[in-house]
Amino acid sequence: MTTFQNNLKTHISIFMHHLVKSNAQWINKPKFHMLTHLPASILRFGPAPLFATKKFKSYNGILRNASTHSNRLAPGRNIAIKFGNFHALRSVLSGGVSYNQKTQTTSNASPQVLNIFQNTPSIQNSMGYDAASYQFAKQFPFESPVHQPTNELPIPPSLRTQFPSLEFCQIIKSSNVAEYIGCVNSIWNTSAMFVVFLTKMKDAGVNPYYGMQQFSKTNAAGFVLSSDIVATLNLQHNCFDGKSSFHAPEEHRRMAQLAIRPIQPNELVDGINQGHETWNLNCED
């Protein structure tokens, strides 16, 4: 977490520096001010959710609605009670039986109430029920496919037939293998998977023009499953002439291992002054 916090603060500082340097007018944007409090919020409330997605906005709306009538003395408890009531309502409308501890009796909703839930797909969807996904489970018991672990697969009969006197030992892939970059030489198609033959590559220094990490081939080679390949990286470092798109930025950043230089205080001051000059020019125009 300490490393993550330091990297996050560094990137936020770099972003704010370039933003204010372009035009100091951006300081009036509240969202950028909130960005400076993001590291502290993560330490207090946990990992930052994907707040830019529509799903989070929908969830955030429900959370706001649940906390509107909170007395602010125990907002977490009030929100939990709201969601608990929602789950209880969902249980009643789906035919659940409730037990009264005082009278020691059970009760359930009337058929008229259940029909509202059973015959209204919009209400079902609003409560997280998808009728189509439960069509297969009408009869019990039913068969469910179970995937066998890859480290417990049987020996192929063809190998047994071809080499009857030999003993076979399955090699289990280690889970702590370090990531590396490789150049694909060929791809072999087996009966159930693809095997990739590649040449390992090593760092060759940073390109002085692009400021990007360069790689060169080594004499080491190996075979990997296509499912173990995390991403395909563009290593030609001439995206304009090659007309290639920049994808998988996270893998590029992690594998390049470029040192990120933090913004110094004097650079922040110079950037703010330049941003003020740009803002003043726009006001004069």
Can you read off the two tokens belonging to residue 223?
Answer: 């075979």
Q: What is the pLDDT, as a whole number, of residue 247? A: 63
Q: What is the pLDDT, as a whole number, of residue 25? A: 78
Domain extent for 173: 149-247
Q: Closest Cα partner for 250 from 228, 233, 266, 263?
A: 233
Q: Looking at the predicted structure, is the pLDDT value of residue 54 above 60?
A: no
Angle value at C-alpha 203, between 202 and 207, nearest 5 degrees: 140
Q: What is the pLDDT, as a whole number, of residue 215? A: 83
| Same domain (yes/no): 225, 157 | yes
Burial string for 224-243 (b: 16+ CB within 10 Å, else e) reads beeeeeeeeeebeeeeeeee
What backbone torsions phi and psi does residue 34 show, to the nearest 5 degrees?
-65, -30
Digit-coded pLDDT (tens) for 140-192: 666 666 666 666 677 778 777 888 887 777 666 555 667 888 888 888 887 77
Average pLDDT, the chain: 76
**Count of domains observed in the chain:** 2
Task: Report yes or no on 211 lying in a domain.
Answer: yes
Digit-coded pLDDT (tens) for 61-99: 666 666 666 665 666 677 778 778 888 888 888 888 888
Spatial separation of the C-alpha atoms in residues 37 and 266, rounded to whole Å: 22
Task: Report yes or no on 195 lying in a domain.
Answer: yes
Task: Report yes or no on 120 lying in a domain.
Answer: no
Segment 197-216 shows an average pLDDT of 81
Task: Report yes or no on 12 lying in a domain.
Answer: yes
| Same domain (yes/no): 92, 156 | no
Q: Are strands 98-100 and 105-107 parallel, antiparallel or unpaired?
A: antiparallel
